[in-house]
């Protein structure tokens, strides 16, 4: 791994908050192991291995029932580690893939069978090379036929430029990590209002109220981020998701205790109903629709 890469917390605490039975960690990753699933030659960082066994042990330790595993940029468009984890977990995990424009229909069908339900478009320039919007549009049209949705990752300064593109995409769009607002500006700043307005004006846009550890200025227990997450949960209770972001790639300030992250949940979703929607109803509707229909 890179010399300045921070490994994930070796022994997170048991959370004080107990998630309800059936709760979903809707944003996490698997990395490697590199000797089995090599990292991309085009990667912008080299992480420590964070294999499926560690992820599933963490799931159980924190009191969750299921995972949504998101392909991270260090593996590029090779989704082998993701698919392997999904096949191991069976009905207890679903996936978000990253694909190239030349991906074949057979490859998409195989990923769908394994449990992939979305693709991720990454616009964070320090993590990926710039990709023409037309490439994403072509992929979006193809995956919509499978009933998949789109996950997007960007930072707040890029929202205004990206808005026309985001609102042109078909189907459900899920925004990672609240669009990475600058929390030092305050929850009522026009920049965050712009993101709230985007969601208010587009009922197909969902959001992950995740990653306080990436957004915080004050540090744990993330008091400066809680108002942002709570505002979104209160305003859009049926379109919010939550995830650990384990193993927290590219953290520079500190490595969070995942148990402490779980303890943030009741502070941002303040009623039993809100927590049930955040942790069970919403992710199940999006990633396990066949179970919601049964």
List of the chain residues with pLDDT < 50: 294
Residue 254 structure tokens: 């500190």
**Rounded CA separation 131/134 (Å):** 8
Query: What's residue 101's pLDDT?
Result: 94
Sign of the Cα torsion 174, 180, 181, 183 reads: positive
Q: Give the chain's length.
A: 294
Query: What's residue 294's pLDDT?
Result: 46
| pTM score | 0.96
245 is annotated as an active-site residue: yes
Are 44 and 73 in contact by the 8 Å Cβ rule? The answer is yes
Are 88 and 52 in contact by the 8 Å Cβ rule? The answer is yes
Residue 43 structure tokens: 């990667």
Query: What's residue 293's pLDDT?
Result: 59
First to last CA, the chain: 44
Catalytic residue among 4, 245, 263, 281: 245
């Amino acid at each position: 791994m890179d010399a300045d890469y921070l490994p994930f917390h070796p022994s997170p605490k048991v959370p004080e908050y107990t998630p309800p039975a059936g709760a979903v960690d809707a944003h996490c990753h698997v990395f490697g192991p590199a000797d089995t699933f090599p990292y991309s030659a085009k990667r912008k960082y080299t992480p420590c291995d964070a294999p499926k066994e560690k992820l599933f042990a963490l799931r159980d330790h924190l009191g969750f029932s299921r995972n949504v595993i998101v392909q991270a940029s260090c593996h590029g468009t090779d989704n082998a580690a993701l698919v392997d984890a999904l096949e191991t977990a069976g009905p207890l995990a679903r996936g978000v893939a990253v694909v190239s424009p030349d991906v074949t229909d057979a490859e998409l069908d195989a990923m769908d069978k394994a449990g992939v339900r979305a693709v991720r478009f990454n616009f964070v320039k320090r993590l990926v090379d710039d990709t023409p919007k037309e490439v994403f549009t072509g992929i979006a049209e193809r995956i919509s036929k499978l009933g998949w949705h789109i996950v997007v990752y960007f930072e707040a300064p890029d929202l205004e430029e990206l808005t026309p593109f985001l609102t042109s995409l078909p189907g459900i769009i899920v925004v990672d990590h609240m669009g990475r607002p600058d929390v030092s500006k305050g929850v009522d700043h026009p920049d965050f209002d712009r993101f709230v307005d985007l969601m208010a004006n587009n009922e197909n846009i969902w959001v992950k109220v995740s990653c306080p550890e990436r957004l915080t200025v004050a540090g744990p227990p993330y008091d400066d981020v809680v108002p942002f997450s709570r505002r979104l949960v209160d305003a859009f209770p049926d379109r919010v998701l939550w995830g650990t972001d384990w193993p927290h790639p590219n953290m520079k300030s500190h490595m969070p205790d995942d148990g402490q992250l779980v303890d943030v949940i009741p502070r941002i979703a303040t009623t039993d109903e809100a927590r049930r929607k955040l942790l069970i109803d919403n992710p199940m509707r999006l990633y396990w629709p066949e179970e919601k229909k049964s």
